[in-house]
Structure 1
Amino acid sequence: MSELSDELKAFNKSRLPEMVKLKYEAMTENAFRFFRGTCHLFYQRLSKIKHLPSSPLAWICGDLHLENFGSYKGNNKLVYFDLNDFDEAVLAPALWEVLRLVTSIFIAFDALDIDQEQAQNMGVLFINTYAATLCKGKAVGIEPRTSRGIVTEFLKKAEKSTYREILEKRTENKGNKVVLSLRHERHFKLNKELKKQLEEHVTQWIQKSNDGPYNYKVKDAVFRLAGTGSIGVKRYLILLKSTNTKEKYLIVDMKQSFDSSLAPYLTVKQPEWENNAQRIISVQQRMQNVFPSLLSTTEFRGEEYVIQELQPVKDTLEFKMIKNQYRDLYQVVDDMAVLTASSQLRSGGMNGSAIIDELKAFGENVAKWKQAVLDYAVNDAENVKSDYKQFVKEYGGKAFENEYSTTNTIDTHATV
């Protein structure tokens, strides 16, 4: 058994075994999917580099890559394009965020068979725009009126999306009832006891939480599979029905929270959060221009969860759809750089993060750190591709079979 296999097993041992099987399967798709599922390995390698350029402390989402930006409806019901995954969020050197994103460019473009010269150009573009945005010292948000290129089309489509569309996709009629559909490929049936406890818990959350939706009652619940790195985490969808408006429904996403995978490599003192769910939503509220509806936390069966509304709009750009459209690629990467810098400016001066003047000075000195970022990204992309090849070989050789035995190890959580 290799060191890589041991590290992957150790990291995923606290996840649901039968779902971890699906995670490993997803990670065999290509090196970029593997990269998305192994955030901890990226920071493990990064922590061993002794001569990286220094950078100011900033709030970072931690797992920034090309597909962790997307559209969503904020709590003000307007549509935005922004960073959208904060499970790993911490206070860390600002460059860590840049390094992971630029590395993702080289890996994703290679997986999509896009010329590596284009990847180099996009890496340079991201760094230059990120630094220029810091120099301006003002955070920017992207919504339909301020968007450009393909993001404009993306957001206009998002504006037109309705809750009826998400209900049609995720629910079905059973007799005279509307229930969450088990024919959906990423919905799984809960056993009766768990489902009962979960529905009772969400009912209490609605009644007692200031963040809960008023005048709704719980109608159904399922286990949800989503993402890549988060596969194996306990995650539920709960269907709510309005008690005031006929045939009006909401779907709530409830996702288990863990320690950030960056935690073992941090030397920076972090705030004393109440729990990991509180860490996640607190940093999200700081970094996003506008945060999603119903964003809150809860504790269920002694475990921490983040709750938010599952929206008709929360889409990520799939780069394979625009890989041959250079102008669109250019605009999207430019937007992502603006948003990355803006998230750090927006959360500047909070709990130890650098103030705006420090971030501006860092941006002005881009010439001192740009080449080091590009060199690291190119080198680490090769490390990831090497690890990916080894993983696929060992996965095909059944090295991970004991991780998900044929016994139903998750029958207290979900029935697959």
Structure 2
Amino acid sequence: MSKLSQRLLDFNAGLLPEMVQLKYEAMAENPFRFYRGTCHLFYEDLQKAELPLSPHTWICGDLHIENYGSFKGDNKLVYFDMNDFDEALLAPASYDLLRMLTSIFIAFDSLGFEKERALKMARLFLKSYSTTLARGKAFCIEPRTAKGIVCDFLTRADQNKGKDILKKRTISKNKKIFLSLEDERHTKVDKKLKAELSAHINQWISTSNDGPYNYEVKGCVFRIAGTGSLGLKRYLFLLKSTNTKNKYLLVDMKQARPSAVAPYDPVKQLAWQTEAERITTIQKRMQYASAALLSHSLFRNESYVIQELQPVKDTIKFKQLEDYRDMYQVIDDMAGILASGQLRSGGIQGSSIIDELSAFGQSADWQDALIDYARSYSKKVKADYRQFVRDYKKGVFK
């Protein structure tokens, strides 16, 4: 067995075995999917690098080009922003930058674009990021301010209705609605666990300030989603309004795990009560508007992140972006969003103040070193991917 495969097996030990098999299967699809599922390898390898100093900020942790997307905020408006904070913590600002830059090189290579184009996009990302930081003013992207393909993306998302996602996720029988087990993303939960989960969510609804009023649980399934999060316990609930006829909500509840960045982060961390509290708190700090119903809770002594499964939540799939100009606008927006999230959370519990972040943005002497590392590491990711596929085909992961 290769050292790489042993590192993967060690990291995924303790997760749900059947779901981990799906994770390995997904990672074998292409180098970018492999990269998405191996955040821990990225930060373990990063410790060997000599990087320029950068200010400490709250970071997403697993920032890549498909961890941006649309969602409905708690103010009922639609936004385009970072949307995955499972690995979030306080760290050098360069960590998110390097993770994102590497994803650009890997994704553009997978799409067959010339290396020079990927390099231009990486430089554009750093330029837009630095410009936003230097201004010292955060912004948000919603349908009225969005441009290009992001504008089209948000406009379509804003037109989606709750009934559309209900049709996809549920079936109707005897004038009642049930979560569909014909959906490949849903699997059955045993009766005892289902009863406990339903009681837990009903209690959350009645006691949490983040919960929806006047709803009760009508169904529960195990939910399969993501790449890096496959193997975690994850449930989907169908809620029905108790005072409005035929009004439903879908709520996602995902197990929270320690950040994959934490063992390699030189910055002293806060003593969070739970991992889910860490995730939701940092998400609320960095996003302009919190995702609808974003909350956290304890179930069977394990912490979970709770939020609404929305008809508008979606991510931009880069393989669908064939026009180079579309990519240019999207990369520009993504860079500004990252800088805005860091500015928005600046000066909070150990993160650098806005003056320090602005000064970092005004300097360019650190940019080449980050691009060089990201280009080099993208080659290592492809080599690791080839080794992983060889071991996967040999049955090492079964």
Q: Which amino acid aligns with 2:44?
A: Q
Tell me the equivalent position of 1:410. Answer: none
Structure 1 position 400 matched with structure 2 position 397: yes
What residue is the counterpart of 2:141 in the other structure?
142
Runs (5+) with no aligned partner, structure 2: none
Letter paired with 2:218: K
Partner of 2:32: 32
Instruction: Give the CA deviation at 1:116.
Output: 1.4
Pick one of 385, 388, 397 that aligns with 1:388.
385
Matches within 5 A, 1:269-288: 269-288=268-287
State the secondary structure of the residue aligned to 1:166: helix
1:2-401 residue pairs with structure 2 within 5 A?
Answer: 2-49=2-49, 51-322=50-321, 324-366=322-364, 368-401=365-398
**Distance between the aligned counterparts of 1:58 and 1:389, measured in 2?**
34
Q: 1:208: how far off?
A: 1.5
Aligned residues: 398
Q: Aligned partners of 2:129 and 2:213: how far apart in 1? A: 41
The root-mean-square deviation of aligned C-alpha atoms, in Å, is 0.7
Q: Secondary structure at the match of 1:52?
A: coil
- Deviation at 1:314? 0.7
Distance 1:212 1:56 in 2: 36
Following the alignment from structure 1 to structure 2, what is the Cα–Cα distance between the partners of residues 31 and 248? 42
Following the alignment from structure 2 to structure 1, what is the Cα–Cα distance between the partners of residues 143 and 210? 27
Q: CA deviation at 1:284?
A: 0.3
**For the residues of structure 2 that align with 1:116 and 1:187, how far apart are their CA atoms?**
40
Partner SS, residue 282 of structure 2: helix
Deviation at 1:196, TM superposition (A): 1.1
Alignment correspondent of 1:406: none
Paired amino acid for 1:338: G
Q: Deviations over 1:297-356 (max 9, x none)?
A: 11111110000011111110011111x301100000000000011010000000110000
Deviations 1:80-134 (A, max 9, x none): 0000000000100001110110000000111111221110000000011101110
Rounded to whole Å, the distance in 2 between the matches of 1:211 and 1:123 is 38
Please identify, of 174-183 and 162-171, the stretch whose mean Cα deviation from structure 2 is larger. 174-183
Which string of whole-angstrom CA distances, capped at 9 and with x for unpartnered residues, describes residues 41-91 of structure 1?
A: 000111111x21000000000000000000000000000000000000010
- Letter of the 2:15 partner, please give it: R
Q: Partner residue of 1:411?
A: none
Letter in 2 for 1:172: I
- When structure 1 is superposed on structure 2, of 100-109 and 265-274 the one drifting more is 265-274
CA distance in 1, matches of 2:66, 2:224: 17
CA distance in structure 2 between the aligned counterparts of 1:233 and 1:376, rounded to whole angstroms: 31
Amino acid at match of 1:2: S
1:218 match: secondary structure:
strand
TM-score, length of structure 1 as denominator length: 0.95
- Secondary structure of the structure 2 residue equivalent to 1:199: helix
Distance between the aligned counterparts of 1:61 and 1:253, measured in 2?
20
Query: Equivalents in 2 of 1:298, 1:360: separation in Å?
Result: 36
Structure-2 separation of matches of 1:161 and 1:316: 14
Give the Cα–Cα distance (whole angstroms) in 2 for the partners of residues 216 and 209 of structure 1: 13
Alpha-carbon separation, structure 1, partners of 2:317 and 2:209? 36
Residues 124-169 of structure 1, C-alpha deviation per residue, up to 9 Å, x if partnerless? 0001110111000000100011110000000000110100001001
Q: Give the Cα separation in 2 of the matches to 1:25 and 1:149.
A: 34
Distance in 2, matches of 1:57 and 1:152, equals: 32
Structure 2 Cα separation of the partners of residues 123 and 240 of structure 1: 43
Work out the CA distance in 2 between the residues paired with 1:143 and 1:397: 47
CA distance in 2, matches of 1:289, 1:198: 31
Partner SS for 2:61: coil
Per the TM alignment, residue 358 of structure 1 is displaced from its structure 2 partner at its CA by 0.3
- Quick check: 31-40 or 176-185, which moved more? 176-185
Note the C-alpha offset of 1:175: 2.7
